[in-house]
Amino acid sequence: MAHKKPLHMGKNLTDLEEHFKLGKTIGHKKVLQLCTAANRVKEYADRHYLDRDEEQAYVFYMKYLNLISMIRNHGEYREKKQEILESLGNNSQMLVIYDKLEKLKDSLEQRYSRCGVVQERELNKQRNQQDNMTIIVTQQKLSINAKELLEMIRDSKSSMLIIDCRAEKDLQASGIRYDHVVGVPVQLLVAGMTAGKIHEKLPPEDKPLWSSRKVKEQIVLMDYCTEGNLRKDTPLWVLNDILNNWDQDVVYKKPFLKVEGGYKNFQLCYPMCCRNPSYVPSTMEFNDDARLEDIEYPNISEIRMKDDSFGSKPQPNRPAVDRNSKVAALHVYESKSKPITELLEEQEKLMDKSIQNEREMLSTENVLKQIHDNQENVMDDNEKFEEISTLKYQLMQMEDKQKEFIAENTRLNEQVQEYKIQEQSWRESGERISAREAELLELEAQRRIKEKADEQKRVEQERDRLARDRLAQERLEQRREEMLRIAYENKRRLPQQPPPVETNVEEPAAIRPKVPQFDRAAKPSANAGVSAAADYNQNVYREVQRDFAPVYGSVGRGLTGLKNLGNTCYMNSILQCLSNTAFLREHFLEGTFRQNLNRSNKTQGRIVEEVAAVIKALWLGQYKCIASKNLRYVVGQYERQFGGIEQQDSHEFLTILMDWLHSDIQTVPIQQYSSLEDLSASEKAWIDYLKGMESYVSNLFYGQIKSTVKCVRCGKESATYESFSNLSLELPQNANRCHLNNCLEMYFNGENIRGWSCPQCKSNQEAIKKLAISRLPSILVVHFKRFYADPEAVATVYKKKQNYVKFPLQELDMTTHIAPSELSRNKTLRARRYHLFGVSNHYGSMESGHYTAFCKNTVHQKWYKFDDHTVTSLDTSDVCSSAGYILFYSSLPESPETQQHQIR
Catalytic residues: 569, 850
CA dist., res. 463 & res. 454, Å (int)? 14
Distance CA 128, CA 424 (A): 87
Consecutive H or E run containing 772 = strand 763-775
Distance separating alpha carbons of residues 29 and 793, to the nearest angstrom = 53
CA angle 661, 731, 868 (to 5 degrees): 45
DSSP assignment of 703-765 = EEEEEEEEETTT--EEEEEEEESSEEE---SS-SEEEHHHHHHHHHSBEEEEEEEETTTTEEE
Q: How far is CA 815 from the centre of its chain?
A: 13
C-alpha pair distances (Å), 696 with each of 135, 661, 703, 730? 30, 9, 13, 29
Which residue type is seen at 246?
W
Contacts of 193 (CB under 8 A, 6+ apart): 238, 242, 246, 583, 892
SS3 assignment for 134-196: CCCCCCCCCEECHHHHHHHHHCCCCCEEEEECCCHHHHHHCEECCCCEEECCHHHCCCCCCHH
Q: How many residues does the chain have?
A: 904
Going by C-alpha positions, the residue among 836, 812, 852, 817 that lies closest to residue 888 is: 836
Asked if 465 and 474 touch (Cβ cutoff 8 Å), the reply is no
Give the chain's largest Cα–Cα span. Answer: 124
775/700 Cα distance (integer angstroms): 12
The residues near 853 (Cβ < 8 Å, ≥ 6 apart) are 572, 573, 574, 576, 577, 838, 839, 840, 841, 865, 866
CA distance 551 to 293: 59
User: Cα 122 from chain centroid?
Assistant: 46
